């Protein structure tokens, strides 16, 4: 706990609150990894099942924390749009779509006149006031509805999530910042998600060693730091500051 608070204090101002929260949550991944490494050093054969369980748990947690970071970064951005009274003329059209995607998809898939009218009345009663190009948003964007559909932090899905805000240059920005480490970093993100999915579907052989997980955490942490900085810089240029 003390370690988490110290990390947050060091990163305040430089990163968004989403990234500082991620660093605090990664502490529990490191606890599992260190315990697995200790057990492996003590007796790798006798303790192999415990090491395996600890490593699998660390992988699942790491993937969950990566997903939570992306969602929280989006939540911070959505909240600031309302708090800073950002003019709606600055908002990307797709942001409106994802804000109301659930009801718009229902309208698109409905042909029966009465049901269609009911859904349109629901949209007019609940969302219509948000749809406009003049002045600031009249209320906060519903983050839970906006984030719906983002369920896996695979790299391409993270790219698509940022495009909901209008940030289409994320891939290029990441490549410029990471340079020669771009492929290694993004491949590791996808590798993490792949292993997590195998574990979730009952693959008992899906795991990594404590040493591999240490490297994985390092790369994922850097990926999140760079993504946080790139998204925050773009958001500041286009709309408002979120750090």
| Tens digit of each residue's pLDDT (9 = 90 or more) over 69-96 | 999 999 999 999 999 999 999 999 999 9
In a domain, 168, yes or no: yes
What's the pLDDT score for residue 14? 85
Q: In a 10 Å sphere around its CB, with 0-12 CB exposed, 13-18 middle and 19+ buried, how is residue 225 labelled?
A: middle
In a domain, 97, yes or no: no
HSE-up (13 A, CA, CB side) for residue 37: 12
Say if residue 11's pLDDT is above 80. Answer: no
In a domain, 108, yes or no: no
Say if residue 141's pLDDT is above 50. Answer: yes
Q: How many domains does the chain have?
A: 1
Q: What is the mean pLDDT of residues 36-47?
A: 95
Reported pTM: 0.90
Say if residue 7's pLDDT is above 50. Answer: no
DSSP SS3 for 136: strand
What's the pLDDT score for residue 13? 58
Say if residue 6's pLDDT is above 90. Answer: no
Confidence of residue 10 (pLDDT cuts 50, 70, 90): very low
Q: Which residues contact 44 (CB under 8 A, 6 or more apart)?
A: 51
Contact call for residues 210 and 220 (beta carbons, < 8 A): no
Report the distance separating Cα 243 and Cα 232, nearest Å: 7
What's the pLDDT score for residue 40? 94
Say if residue 20's pLDDT is above 50. Answer: yes
Q: What is the mean pLDDT of residues 153-167?
A: 98
Radius of gyration, CA atoms only, the chain: 21
Contact call for residues 19 and 70 (beta carbons, < 8 A): no
In a domain, 42, yes or no: yes
Confidence of residue 1 (pLDDT cuts 50, 70, 90): very low
In a domain, 132, yes or no: no
In a domain, 131, yes or no: no
Report the distance separating Cα 38 and Cα 61, nearest Å: 19
Q: What are phi and psi of 87, to 5 degrees?
A: -60, 135
What's the pLDDT score for residue 59? 98
In a domain, 95, yes or no: no
Report the distance separating Cα 153 and Cα 73, nearest Å: 13
What single DSSP character describes residue 220?
Answer: H
Contact call for residues 56 and 206 (beta carbons, < 8 A): yes
In a domain, 217, yes or no: yes
Say if residue 46's pLDDT is above 90. Answer: yes
Tokens of 119: 């859904």
Supply the range of the domain harboring residue 8.
Answer: 2-89+151-238
């Amino acid at each position: 706990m003390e370690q988490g608070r110290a990390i947050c204090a060091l990163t305040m101002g430089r990163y968004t609150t989403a990234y500082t929260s991620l660093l605090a949550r990664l502490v529990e991944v490191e606890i599992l990894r260190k315990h697995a490494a200790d057990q492996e050093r003590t007796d790798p054969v006798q303790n192999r099942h415990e090491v395996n369980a600890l490593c699998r748990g660390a992988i699942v947690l790491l993937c969950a924390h990566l997903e939570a970071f992306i969602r929280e970064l989006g939540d911070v951005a959505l909240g600031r749009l309302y708090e800073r009274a950002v003019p709606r003329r600055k908002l990307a059209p797709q942001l409106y779509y994802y804000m109301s995607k659930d009801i718009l998809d229902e309208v698109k898939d409905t042909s029966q006149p009465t049901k269609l009218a009911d859904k349109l009345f629901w949209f007019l009663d609940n969302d219509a006031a948000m749809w406009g190009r003049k002045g600031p948003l009249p209320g906060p964007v519903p983050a839970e509805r906006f984030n719906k559909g983002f369920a896996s932090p695979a790299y391409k899905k993270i790219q698509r999530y940022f495009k909901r805000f209008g940030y289409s240059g994320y891939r290029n920005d990441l490549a410029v910042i990471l340079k020669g480490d771009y492929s290694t970093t993004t491949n590791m993100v996808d590798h993490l998600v792949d292993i997590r999915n195998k574990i979730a579907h009952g693959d008992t052989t899906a795991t990594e060693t404590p040493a591999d997980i240490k490297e994985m955490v390092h790369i994922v942490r850097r990926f999140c730091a760079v993504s946080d900085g790139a998204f925050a810089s773009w958001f500041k240029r286009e709309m408002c500051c979120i750090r």
